[in-house]
Amino acid sequence: MSYVKKTHRFGLLTPSSNTVQEPEFSAALPATVSLHTGRVAYRDITPEEQMRCVLELETESRKLADAEVGVIVFAATAPTLAKGKGYDRELIKRMQDAAGRPATTAATAFVDALRRLGAEKIAIGAPWSKAMDKPMVGFMEASGFEVVNSEVAGYVAGVELGRTGPQAAYELGRRVDRPDADAIIMPGGNWPSMTVVERLEQELGKPVLANNAVSIWAGLRLLQGYDGISGYGALLRDHLAA
C-alpha cells in the first residue's frame, strides 16, 4: 500500500451501539483525511437513551481534541434534536467549549444541506419507532420545512438496526417519496442508507439526504478545501466546495 499523507483529522462522535458510521465514513472521506472516533453511551433508540448519551459529550469531545482533530461531528440525528429547534446549537457550543475545535451535529447538517439545495418540502424515512418520529418532524417544521410525509421502519435496538442491509433503506426511501417533496431525508446514523442515495436520486429525480452523507458534508465544509466526492449523491458530489 502506498503512503498517503493525512492533512486533516476528522473527529466523529458516534453512539456506542453504532456499527455503520465508521465503515461508511472511512469509505467516503478523502484519502488525505483520517477518521478519529469517540463514543457516547447510547444502546437503544429511545428518548431515555438520547438524554443519557449527551452526558458524555464534553468528555468525549476533549478526548478527540487530544488527537488534535480539525472538526468534531456528533453524527447522530435523534439525540441532536431531542429538545427542539436550537438544541443542536446548544450541543455544538458544549462540544466547542470542551474541545476548542469547530463542531456540528447531524441535525444541523440536515438543515444546512436542505437550505443549500433550496428544498422547502420534504419527506422523511427514518429507521426508528413511531415514538421517535414526532421530535424529528417537529424539529424540521420549526426549522422552516414542510413535512409532506414521514414513515418509520420501527427499529429500537441500535445493534439490530446496524445489522440491516441497505436494501431496507432503499425500500423505505422509495415508499416515503411523494410527488410534491423537494427532497427526501433519511436520518439515523446506524441506518445503512448512504450507499443507496445515488440509486434513489436517479430513480426519483430529487435529492436524497442520508444521515452519514450530510454529516461528512458538514464536517468537510468546516475543514475546508475539499472538492466533490462521487458515489453518494448530489450533496457530496456537487455542493461540497464552499
Both 131 and 192 in a single domain? yes
Both 104 and 128 in a single domain? no
Both 48 and 122 in a single domain? no
Total tally of structural domains belonging to the chain: 2
Both 152 and 187 in a single domain? yes
Question: With contact defined as beta carbons under 8 Å apart, do 187 and 77 qualify?
Answer: yes
Both 175 and 104 in a single domain? no
What per-residue confidence (pLDDT) applies to 53? 87
pLDDT at 57 > cutoff 80 = yes
pLDDT tens, position by position, 191-236: 899 999 999 999 999 999 999 999 999 999 999 989 899 999 999 9
Both 81 and 166 in a single domain? no
Whether 236 is covered by a domain: the verdict is no
Whether 2 is covered by a domain: the verdict is no
Q: DSSP character for 59?
A: H
Whether 166 is covered by a domain: the verdict is yes
Whether 150 is covered by a domain: the verdict is yes
d(CA 173, CA 196): 9
Whether 3 is covered by a domain: the verdict is no
What per-residue confidence (pLDDT) applies to 85? 95
Both 104 and 24 in a single domain? yes
- What the block records as the C-alpha cell of 187 is 436520518
Backbone torsions φ then ψ of 69, nearest 5 degrees: -65, 155
Average of per-residue pLDDT across 78-101: 96
Least confident of 162-166, 173-177, 189-193, 236-240: 162-166
Both 103 and 218 in a single domain? yes
Both 12 and 103 in a single domain? yes
Both 24 and 143 in a single domain? no
Whether 1 is covered by a domain: the verdict is no
Q: Chain-centre distance of CA 177, in angstroms?
A: 19
Place of cell 472521506: 29
**How much of the chain exceeds pLDDT 90, in percent?**
79
- What the block records as the C-alpha cell of 164 is 440491516
Q: What is the pLDDT confidence band of residue 162, given thresholds at 50, 70 and 90?
A: low
pLDDT tens, position by position, 101-160: 999 999 999 999 999 999 999 999 998 888 889 999 999 999 999 999 999 987 776 667
What per-residue confidence (pLDDT) applies to 119? 98
What per-residue confidence (pLDDT) applies to 1? 59
Both 34 and 125 in a single domain? no
Q: What is the CATH number of the domain that holds 80?
A: 3.40.50.12500
Least confident of 87-101, 161-175, 178-192: 161-175
Mean pLDDT of the chain: 93
Both 67 and 156 in a single domain? no
Domain, as residue range, for 70: 8-108+213-228
What per-residue confidence (pLDDT) applies to 157? 63
Whether 76 is covered by a domain: the verdict is yes
pLDDT at 43 > cutoff 70 = yes
Whether 136 is covered by a domain: the verdict is yes
Average of per-residue pLDDT across 73-86: 94
pLDDT at 80 > cutoff 90 = yes
pLDDT at 12 > cutoff 80 = yes
pLDDT at 241 > cutoff 90 = no
What per-residue confidence (pLDDT) applies to 51? 87
E-state strands within 8-139: 8-15, 33-40, 71-74, 103-105, 121-126
